[in-house]
Chains A and B, each alone.
Chain A
């Protein structure tokens, strides 16, 4: 019996902001999806989580990027009562990992992203850009752990999280966590939570945009560019359209 068979509790760090009742409905969950990038190889991964209302989606990934390999992940996480996506990534020497993610929640949704980045060997780089928008009574959470192993010198890890709250009942959680056992590393991280700029909203209204259109435009701008570098154009169009449709549905 694997550890996954036991339902997590709030005491589990990675679950402290989650919707445990929703998780219980599908427990036990599937084993993590395993993915590896061979030495020197390049891969991309695009995940659009747009499950129906009320569903529970828990999707874990265990990823290994071998020496000199590179993985680029795009994630749009917007569906279900609980939409939870996790990545546990181990980077070999000189490997590169990139994540661009948008989390958008409305109503009473809980939308989560949990990343554990293991810089196990020297010279690996990682860049994570996460944007979250919460409306209604929704909760968006990003828990991002970066672990730099002893001897993983010249690690360069960057993590940026920005959340936007559209109402007083919406919640955003950010939990960046750095664990560094090497002394010659660069780890940059930033997290901010804000709301729509009122001055900009009035400026847009003064040009004739009604409040709903002005808000939609501001939110599009907030997540703009996340999916621009997706190689597959049809896929990118699908992501952009799904994000836009979701933004238009937010109350």
Chain B
């Protein structure tokens, strides 16, 4: 589904990703772990197409297409979802309006008919319930006044509604208390654990991986994947720390 081949990325002329390679097949859940400053968020933003994150070498193929050639909204329509570490507040636009426009914009790009207001609300209600989010919050402006945890829940409701093929979730666990972590973990499983989908979890800690069990774990350090393994690698990291495992 996703093939990252020797990717390098610059921000303001500084090279952050230094030849990163990774391959994700349908039905798989991958976790990328790494210390602060390793390039985790840079990887997420590069895949999402954020302006200022300049790919300078290598390539990324998503479902057979050249991902880096696509505009951010085209990547979304192709089935890529980026869960933000710091979701953005948009005053004056309700979650419901925002997501309905976003979904219908994606559907239009794919040549599908738009969803009616009633059908959309039904969908939104179902996904909000899945993440334990009140419909009243869905009617409030996007992320405005939401706590850190509420923003992360809202991200997952968005993911549920947009129904992507590949979700790249950047530190979705940060800011969540233990109950919210359980709910969000269950939500990710319900929405994304399917034979035709895949997930890339980007995280600093092992704790989300207790709820969303990865098939593969990779360690990112200094802009490269330095070690890959199964779920046991995350436990090893938790036990021994990054410095120890990276040095080994």
Contact = CB atoms under 8 A, between A and B. Distances in A.
Task: Please report whether the interface of chain A is mostly helix, strand, loop or mixed according to DSSP.
Answer: helix
A222 B158 CA distance: 23
B105 A209 contact: yes
Interface string B101-116: 1110110010000000
A213 B76 contact: no
Interface in B49-107: 49-51, 71-73, 75-77, 81-82, 84, 87-93, 97-99, 101-103, 105-106
Contacts of A20: none
A213 B21 CA distance: 34
Given A203-B88, A211-B73, A224-B92, A217 B105 contact: no
Contact of B76 (A197, A205, A211, A224): A205
B72 A205 contact: yes
Contacts, number: 78
Most chain B Cβ neighbours within 10 Å, of A202, A214, A224, A225:
A202
Given A200-B88, A202-B51, A208 B103 contact: yes
Nearest to B102: A207
20 contacts: A200-B88, A200-B89, A200-B90, A202-B88, A203-B88, A203-B90, A204-B98, A205-B76, A206-B75, A206-B84, A207-B102, A208-B73, A211-B73, A214-B73, A217-B98, A218-B93, A220-B93, A221-B92, A221-B93, A224-B93
Given A205-B76, A208-B73, A217-B98, 5 more contacts: A207-B98, A208-B105, A208-B106, A220-B93, A221-B90
Interface of A: 197-200, 202-211, 213-214, 217-218, 220-222, 224-225
